[in-house]
Structure 1
């Protein structure tokens, strides 16, 4: 141990102990990955003994640095997790050093502010989430219901349904989960609007996949977070904002189509598919399918998004919905054919590279040989 630390330890004053805590913490943080388990255990013991005199700033810095470290000594991780929530938050939210048993213990003993942080963890077991649901208050329930990275037990789901009768936010978060059981869906039906009822009935009937449910939840979050920016009538500016928000072209197309902005969807498609807007509009409105398919493929539309576009087109033009289904089936075949063609070209290119023989030394061009 450096002499400066030994000197501080020998002083024995509160100020010296505070400085000792800060310097030992900094020493650990600076070379954390290089420390042996034995060294970490010794430093951990010193830090725990000095913890009560450490300043909030130094404790928070230590918590932040140790938050994602796998080799954080468990005793130190637990000590920090029990600190004021403003200090403990980063470590409590993600530390792999905390076990599920640790988390259950914290749920039983710590404040609802701590529980709000724990409820956001992506590694919660059903046992931990059950404990959080039982102990937590309304904000904790909302966070837990909105955590779609974990699986909630049937009992917790049904208890949330009861709370959801008087809590609209909880109800919305609960309805967007992809692990809803048919029993939970049936319990929610009397509480929700017609659109949500339709979705819940689809889950009951097994017609919505997890990916579809996740997309519904994602679009709802995007609509809430993107807010008024979505109303921009300039598709160039809107796409620029969407890219900054990490919204894909498929997601933005769906949002526009859901809002009935069919002409704006065509504008976006023409820009992303590098097709003249007038030509694409003519193709869409006059049934020139080939140009629409090529543009959609260039824009990167997946089949479900194109299917929605084709359906909205039928509604907009007041033509039979069967034409939308035909366009979608043709588009799927077009994508498959395009993918096969690209793969074949790639294979031919690789084959040509392998077959190409090196030129003999004596066959150099005359100009070079003459030099």
Structure 2
């Protein structure tokens, strides 16, 4: 297969180049997750090799098909991100192949349309946000302020928050402040924060490892498992499942579960798609563990109803990013 593609790349005709782009991007998007380094390297080399000779339609096809493929080479990603906005937009908004140095250079040199697309990325480092604040139009700064996955210095945040209607600005300020407090608390000893008793592993009718195996094999859904365990008030095993589903360290999920507030656990649950009904069962079990009245759980559920999934995903992404940075600094 690779040999045939390499031979196709040697033909300089427009038709053959178009066929090459079509075949390579289709295969790349379908097979990147299989982690075959030689194959991935060949795909990238073929596309990089012909890129400068391609017309806009072919570049558009590459951008649309590979914007969610992390294995795309940084060089190819950077080339696509500097094209006209129609071609660049998918990569500017979504590609994880772009490095922060690339993003800063794009934010420093490209059009306001490019900057607006950058401001919508799921996650932005504070250094990139700073450049967007410096060069961005009012529309760019408004988009950046509303992006809960964009890390920002306090100074830059105060600048962009002025671009928003007061009610929206206060809402975003509250969400960001709650997230910062949560991150701070996750690195403190549980005894030092406002939290309930530690969770204990308890005997269960179905071992949590069986639930995990069943979910992975498609025999049961995560929501069904969460529902059953929460109904049994088995919060420890609920945290195990939430940790696996979110990719967040189990210790951090436990700390979220026993905190007296619901910010962290609500964000995590909404981000991974836990429905309102299952979340209500978690709240009921939490109230039981924390010795809170059921009315507190009802308030948590009401707040969960209005928590936007996109906001939650971006907050969780920013949370993971900052936790990684904190852990790296502590190492």
TM-score w.r.t. length of structure 1: 0.44
TM-score w.r.t. length of structure 2: 0.49
Structure showing greater relative contact order (alpha-carbon pairs closer than 8 Å, 6 or more residues apart): 2
